[in-house]
Amino acid sequence: MNSSSPPGTDLFSGSVVREIRQPAPDRLVLRTYGRGVGEIDWLLSVHPACPRFLRTFRRGRNPPRPGNFCQWLRTRIAGAAAGTPEPAGEQALALPFTKDGERFALILECNGNESNLLLVDGERRLLIALRHPALPGRKLAPGEPYVPPPAVTWLPKDFPLEGWRMAGDAAEAEALDRRGWERERGAEFEALQRACLRAARRERKRLQRRVRHQREDLARAREAETVREWGELLKINRNRMRPGQQEIRVTNEFLPGRPEVAIPLDPQASPAENIERLFRRYRKLRGAAPHIEARLGETEAELNRWAALTAEVEAAADRAALEAAYAQAELPLPEGQAAAGRGNGPSGLESASILTRISSDGFRILVGRSKEANDEVTFRIGNGRDWWFHAQGIPGAHVIVRTPSGGALPPRTLREAAWLAAYYSPRRAEGKLDIDYTQRKYVRKIKGGEPGQVTYSQNRTVVADLADSGAARVLSAVEAAERR
């Protein structure tokens, strides 16, 4: 990281933090005031495609109830004096602050999908992290000394961490800020396009299997006349049928040249039963053929529609083109993607009805406390590998535990998520509740249902005892946060 400091450095160093916003889960905006320079907004983003710290000209909407990390910052660095940013490791930047004699630092780690923002004290011990900070080869917990990540992702040269130094040149700063937002939108569009292609290709494969099966059914149905002929031939040759026969070879009187044909028989059935069975099969096949042909035509038309949509998705240059393609096909965008890329980034804007907690093991837990918040937590914020919790058989909160690696949850985190799901259910007074949990990819919306109505599979069950001493500790912290 370049140690030279152009004049723009002074716009941040020596200023006072006046306001802290969290317009989206992956970004913060600090508003500072400096003598002679006035108010300036600074963006701290951990967006995977473009993590950065620079002057911004877009503040974003401030949610009524910001996340836990933002609230921590407001109590520690609101009103603090900012120092000069300095390196904290390769592609990591530390922003120092001093308030009432106490020193703190915000550390921005630009590490691709694992980019993070951490608050440390004056001795560089972790206080809180925006995201779960444990990575392979590094374990970081509250109270532990800060250790830079072992490996970082190289960033494009037009988005260096030194971008904040260009703040003194307003035109250059605004151009850099604009390129950052364009990069985010481009990454979000590409993610949405990939999701659309996966969904379209999956649907095409499903329809191709259906076409293949329906064609096989139609081929069998078109054998109806052959089956009828067999029945007539058995009637003609009834006196040649013997008990226990598995087939009978007879001359086909209905075809030119009178070829020999082998007719399968049920050895346990009488001659009359074998004859009746063939005629019954003939009537069934004859009635089925028109219906199978109609269904086959519908399926082939649907397959053609999805093939055309796939081509449109592959050719789309932006989100508007994707939306137009799906609107023309009269289909919705893939589940959980329709809101992506609008306004507040791919992970959506956490609303006042979403509770955010950090588990004892450092995992981020999200709790929906309304129907709309349940939908947002499960289908907009949650990923397929995250773990999903819900009180068994009753309405209640959707609880998501963010797990980027998709592995099993530590027992403590599993219990804490189950306690939260039980607490935010209408039967929490019962004390003990069965809580189902599964991975988010096994949760589906109910077609035509209200927000938050879902079905799920591959689930396991844990008993959540709200009288447990650990539950009391977790829930007392939740209640205290809500009172604030």
3-state secondary structure 276-327: HHHHHHHHHHHHHHHHHHHHHHHHHHHHHHHHHHHHHHHHCCCHHHHHHHHH
Task: Please tell me the predicted confidence (pLDDT) of residue 29.
Answer: 94
Task: Please tell me the predicted confidence (pLDDT) of residue 134.
Answer: 63
3-state secondary structure of 441: helix
Asked whether residue 338 is assigned to any structural domain, the reply reads no
Distance CA 286, CA 293 (A): 12
Boundary-marking domain end, from 134, 168, 202: 168
Boundary-marking domain end, from 328, 345, 373: 328
Boundary-marking domain end, from 135, 168, 201: 168
Distance CA 398, CA 258 (A): 71
Residues 205 and 307 in one domain: yes
Distance CA 268, CA 444 (A): 48
* One-letter amino acid of 302: E
Q: What is the pLDDT of residues 203-237, one digit of tens each?
A: 899 999 999 998 988 888 888 888 888 888 888 88
Residues 124 and 268 in one domain: no
Residues of the chain below pLDDT 50: 1-8, 335-352, 483-484
Residues 223 and 315 in one domain: yes
Length of the chain: 484
Can you name the residues that pair with 234 across neighbouring β-strands?
none
Q: What is the pLDDT of residues 282-300, one digit of tens each?
A: 888 888 888 888 889 989 9
Distance CA 92, CA 106 (A): 10
Would you state the structure tokens that stand for residue 157, as one six-digit string? 């040269």
Asked whether residue 179 is assigned to any structural domain, the reply reads no
Distance CA 399, CA 410 (A): 16
Distance CA 461, CA 347 (A): 28
Question: Containing domain of residue 433, as a range?
Answer: 354-483
Domain count, the chain: 3
Can you name the residues that pair with 461 across neighbouring β-strands?
436
Asked whether residue 339 is assigned to any structural domain, the reply reads no
H/E element, 87: strand 86-89
Residues 22 and 150 in one domain: yes
Distance CA 31, CA 9 (A): 15
H/E element, 41: strand 38-45
Nearest residue to 202 (alpha-carbon basis) of 309, 115, 296, 329: 309
Residues 436 and 360 in one domain: yes
Asked whether residue 291 is assigned to any structural domain, the reply reads yes
Asked whether residue 389 is assigned to any structural domain, the reply reads yes
Residues 258 and 131 in one domain: no
For residue 18, what is the domain's CATH number?
2.30.310.10
Global model pTM greater than 0.75: no
Residues 34 and 153 in one domain: yes
Residues 253 and 319 in one domain: yes
Residues 280 and 199 in one domain: yes
